[in-house]
Amino acid sequence: MQTAAHTTAAEVTAPRIEDVDLVVVGAGLFGLTVAQQAVEHAGARVHIIDVRDHIGGNAYSYMDEETGAEIHKYGAHLFHTSNKRVWEYVNRFTSFTDYVHRVYATHDGEVYPLPINLGTINQFFHAHYTPAEARALIEEQAGELAGTDPTNLNDKGIQLIGRPLYEAFIKNYTGKQWQTDPAELPAAIIKRLPVRFNYDNRYFKDTWEGLPTDGYTAWMERMIDDERISVSLNTDFFDTDQPFNREALSAAGKPVVYTGPVDRYFDYELGDLKWRTVDFKEVRYDEGDHFGCPVMNFSDADVPYTRAIEFKNFNPERAESQNPNRTVVWEEYSRFAKRDDEPYYPVNTEADKALYAQYEARAAEVPNTVFGGRLGTYKYYDMHNVIDTALTAYENAVAPLLG
């Protein structure tokens, strides 16, 4: 039901190594930003390679022909930032809708607003607490953890929102997402989830928020719409049968920006960094709108998936071009990633951090090579973080390589 994978106009016969100034491995946001900056500021000739059949990395999207929905192939991507430099940069290539992200959760047969806010609290307890009363209640329900700063997710969740709310909305959801006892997970994971003692259920608090008006792929295409940028898709950096491989580029002394898995670059010599991945199950309904919102979390343990995404609801402004009688939903199932899976979230245990530190030290010694992006630095990044780090990496590390 989808359109064919998009082939960018820049994808032409690969140039010769000697005819390019910079090779970018990975056509995600980090790589595209660096490529664009290298052309704009250094007049460089840039060749991008990617093992996938499309540009855009995990932000890639395509149109579903049956429903008219824009499908985010690698899960929901929502742009938001308070970084003025990033906001001004991205607006050079796309305008944004006025979409504001709000999430809802189904628990015990009832739907609640997330993140936890005064509306969630009053609905859950069938009460009409004031902000002060709600704060006092949460502190009481946090028990001996109130006023502490726990290091594990389980205790941090109880400290933040009290045991009843934590067990209803966070404990089982987190258990499904990580397949790990929350007591074994770091508290930093839950610190990303805001808690509010008012009725504000806007998920993000950034200054700017929205979705690209013409879709993610159109945005990415515009970033590299320059004759000095060429792209080779379905091209594996580690395949010695293609000219832009690791060994050939090293021998040629060409500057390289590498955005693939850092442990893969070194052939996993020190061991594998651990990741979480997501499997998607597609469900189609004979109705125009199934959930009434873009994202519905499922907080209970008896539902095997963590959440469901209804893509049409990200773009209500496109209603006239969407099928009023059919909708598509993706259910998300989380698990530990194997080498051949798509890595989404770094597990980041202390052992993983120590292992990455060793790989990072090795990466610093690779000549003419800059490691970046989510996979190249073993970090979880939102899109605006990726762009910001790419702009900085170009200025501090890539530009000097271009002379």
Q: What does pLDDT average to over the chain?
A: 94
Q: What percent of the chain has pLDDT over 70?
A: 96
Query: Which residues are known to be catalytic?
Result: 192, 196, 276, 307, 332, 380, 382
Name, in order, each residue with C-beta under 8 angstroms of 78's C-beta and a sequence gap of 6 or more. 99, 101, 204, 209, 211
pLDDT band of residue 185 (cuts 50, 70, 90) is confident
pLDDT band of residue 3 (cuts 50, 70, 90) is very low
- What integer pLDDT is reported at residue 187 of this predicted model? 87
pLDDT surpassing 70 at residue 6 = no
Same domain membership, residue 181 and residue 117? yes
Same domain membership, residue 163 and residue 109? yes
- What integer pLDDT is reported at residue 147 of this predicted model? 87
In a domain, 222, yes or no: yes
In a domain, 328, yes or no: no
Q: Apex CA 244: angle with CA 53 and CA 222, to 5°?
A: 45
Q: Residue 343 gets which letter from DSSP?
A: P
Same domain membership, residue 359 and residue 232? yes
- Count of domains for the chain: 2
C-alpha 365/C-alpha 375 separation (Å) is: 18
**Domain residue limits at 182:** 103-189
pLDDT surpassing 70 at residue 193 = no
Q: Which secondary structure element, helix H or strand E, spans residue 29, and what is its range? A: helix 29-42
User: Tens digits of per-residue pLDDT, 326-361?
Assistant: 999 999 999 999 999 999 999 888 899 999 999 999
- What integer pLDDT is reported at residue 278 of this predicted model? 96
In a domain, 366, yes or no: yes
- What integer pLDDT is reported at residue 264 of this predicted model? 98
- What integer pLDDT is reported at residue 8 of this predicted model? 46
Contact status, residue 402 vs residue 44, Cβ threshold 8 Å: yes
- Domain boundary (189, 220, 244) is at 189
Same domain membership, residue 123 and residue 87? no
Contact status, residue 128 vs residue 122, Cβ threshold 8 Å: yes
In a domain, 160, yes or no: yes
Q: 350 or 398: which carries more pLDDT confidence? A: 398
Contact status, residue 88 vs residue 129, Cβ threshold 8 Å: no
Q: Give 110's strand partners.
A: 107
Same domain membership, residue 26 and residue 167? no
Same domain membership, residue 260 and residue 239? yes
pLDDT surpassing 60 at residue 324 = yes
In a domain, 54, yes or no: yes
Same domain membership, residue 157 and residue 58? no
pLDDT surpassing 80 at residue 395 = yes
- Domain boundary (121, 154, 189) is at 189
Q: Taking the mean position of all CA atoms in its chain, how far away is CA 173?
A: 19
Residue 24 structure tokens: 């970018």
- What integer pLDDT is reported at residue 244 of this predicted model? 97
Same domain membership, residue 122 and residue 264? no
- What integer pLDDT is reported at residue 347 of this predicted model? 87
Same domain membership, residue 112 and residue 60? no
In a domain, 142, yes or no: yes
- What integer pLDDT is reported at residue 179 of this predicted model? 86
Same domain membership, residue 134 and residue 153? yes
Q: What is the mean pLDDT of residues 294-312?
A: 97
- Domain boundary (158, 189, 220) is at 189
Same domain membership, residue 227 and residue 374? yes
Q: What percent of the chain has pLDDT over 90?
A: 90
CA separation (Å) from 114 to 86, 165, 169, 325? Answer: 27, 12, 9, 28
In a domain, 23, yes or no: yes
- What integer pLDDT is reported at residue 194 of this predicted model? 66
- What integer pLDDT is reported at residue 107 of this predicted model? 98
Task: Dump strand ranges (E) for 124-253.
Answer: 208-210, 229-232
pLDDT surpassing 90 at residue 192 = no
Same domain membership, residue 156 and residue 28? no
In a domain, 76, yes or no: yes
The CATH code of the domain that includes 397 is: 3.40.50.720
Name, in order, each residue with C-beta under 8 angstroms of 299's C-beta and a sequence gap of 6 or more. 105, 106, 107, 168, 169, 170, 172, 173
User: Tens digits of per-residue pLDDT, 133-154?
Assistant: 999 999 999 999 988 999 999 9
